Amino acid sequence: MSETPPLTEQDLATLVDRFYAQVRMHPQLGPVFNAAIDDWPEHQRMLTAFWSSVALGTKSYRGNPMSAHRPHPIRAEHFDHWLALWRSTAKEVLAPEHAELVGGYAEKIGYSLRYGLGLLPREGSRALDLPVVAAPPER
Per-residue pLDDT tens digits for 42-66: 999 999 999 999 999 999 999 999 9
| Choices 1.10.490.10, 1.10.10.10, 1.10.760.10, 3.40.50.80: CATH for 9-116 | 1.10.490.10
**pTM for this entry:** 0.84
Report yes or no: 53 and 26 within 8 Å, Cβ to Cβ: no
Per-residue pLDDT tens digits for 100-133: 999 999 999 999 999 999 998 765 545 454 444 4
Any idea what DSSP says for residue 119? -
15-27 as b/e, with b when 16 or more CB fall inside 10 Å? bbbebbeebeebe
Break the chain into its structural domains and give their ranges. 9-116
Dihedrals φ, ψ of 124, to 5°? 75, 10
Residue (of 31, 69, 30) closest to 47 by Cα position: 69
